[in-house]
Amino acid sequence: MAERDTQFTGPVPEIYDRFMVPLIFHPYAEDMAARVAALRPGSVLETAAGSGAVTRVLAPLLAKEARYVVSDLNPPMLERARAMQPPDARLEWSVVDAQRLNFPDESFDVVLCQFGVMFLPHRPKAYAEALRVMKPGGTFLFNAWDHLAHNEVTATVWETILASYPDNPPDFFPRVPHGYHDEALIRADLAEAGFSSVTVETVTRQSVAPSARAAAVALCTGTPMRMEILARSPDGLDAMTDRAEAALQLRFGTGPIAGRIQALVVTARA
C-alpha cells in the first residue's frame, strides 16, 4: 500500500469529519454502536477510529463504569476525534498501529474497527492482534465497503475522476476503501488469525448530502484521493471538484442528494 493511501493530514481530518462522516460513515456508525452496545461490554477497544464517527455514537450507550480505548495510527485524525468528543472519564486515547497493539493479552470484551481494515497491509496480523487482546468469549466487529458498484455517490465521483485521467488513472477508491469486499478472502484472513466463528452481513443504507457540492468536496478533498489528484494535476483539485459536482448534479439533482451505500459487517469470535 502506498504511503499516500494513509495521509489523513493537513486539512483532510477536518474536511473528512465535516463532509465524509455525514455523507457515508454516520449510518454505519449508528449500526456499529448498536451492535457493540447490545453486547454490554465492560471494556472496548476501537482501532482505526479516524475522526471519531463511532466514538461519538457509542460512548453514550456504554455503561458508566465501562472502559473505552479509542485508537488510531494517525495522530491528526485522533486529535480531531478527541476535540469533537465531550469530556468523558471512561475514554482513553491512544496512537497505535492495529497490527501491533500495545495492550496486554485478554484486555477487552469487544474490539471494533469501522472501515479501517481496508487500509491494513497485513490484515491477518491485525486480526490476530485483535484476538490476542480480547477476553475469552469476546467479540471482534468490523465493517468494510462493498464493491463500488453498490455505492452510488462514490462511484459517480470515481467515474468522473477516471475519465479525467485516462492515461494515468488514480485507483485509490477501487483499490483501498472498496478493495476488500470478497467474503471468502475475509473469512480466510480471519481463519488464519485464529477466529473460528465468523458472520458476514451485507448492510445497505442511504448516503445523504445537503448538496452535490458537499459530496464532491468530501470525496475529492477529504480522502487520500486528494493526493492522487494533486499528483497528476498540482493545480487541478478545484477543477476536479467542480467536475465531480456537475456529475453528481446530473445523476442526483441540484438539491440535497441521496444514493445507496453498501457495506459488509463482520462479527468474529474465537
> Sign of the CA dihedral 139, 143, 146, 151?
positive
Please state, for a pLDDT cut of 90, what percent of the chain lies above it: 95
Angle at 144 between CA 143 and CA 149, to 5 degrees: 135
Q: How far apart are CA 72 and CA 90, in angstroms?
A: 17
Confidence of residue 5 (pLDDT cuts 50, 70, 90): very low
Residue 127, pLDDT above cutoff 70: yes
What is the rounded CA–CA span in Å between residue 248 and residue 212? 6
CB 228 within 8 A of CB 120: no
Model pLDDT, residue 269: 97
Using a pLDDT cut of 70, give the percent of the chain over it. 97
Range of the domain at 16: 3-269
Check residue 144 and give its pLDDT: 98
Residue 5 CB contacts under 8 Å (≥ 6 apart), including other chains:
119, 172, 176, 224
Residue 3 has pLDDT above 70, yes or no: no
- The candidate with the shortest Cα–Cα distance to 112, out of 77, 80, 143, is 143
Residue 170 and residue 162: Cα distance in Å, rounded? 7
- Residue 83 has a pLDDT of 95
Question: Given phi > 0 = left and psi -120 to 50 = alpha, else beta, which region is 113?
Answer: beta
Query: And the C-alpha cell for 236?
Result: 487541478
**How many domains is the chain partitioned into structurally?**
1
User: What CATH number is attached to the domain comprising 37?
Assistant: 3.40.50.150
d(CA 55, CA 139): 17
pTM over 0.75? The answer is yes
Which residue would you say has higher pLDDT here, 59 or 6? 59
Assign 8 a pLDDT band (cuts: 50, 70, 90).
Answer: low
Computed over every residue of the chain, the mean pLDDT equals: 95
Residue position matching grid coordinates 479509542: 70
The sheet that has 67-72: what strands, in order across it?
91-95, 67-72, 43-47, 108-114, 134-145, 257-269, 197-209
Tell me the chain's radius of gyration from C-alpha atoms: 18
Q: Give the model confidence (pLDDT) of 245-257 as tens digits.
A: 999 999 999 999 9
pLDDT in tens, 192-244: 999 999 999 999 999 999 999 999 999 999 999 999 999 999 999 999 999 99
Q: Which of 35, 26, 66 is nearest to 201 (CA)?
A: 35
- Which tens digits make up the pLDDT trace of 74-114? 999 999 999 999 999 999 999 999 999 999 999 999 999 99
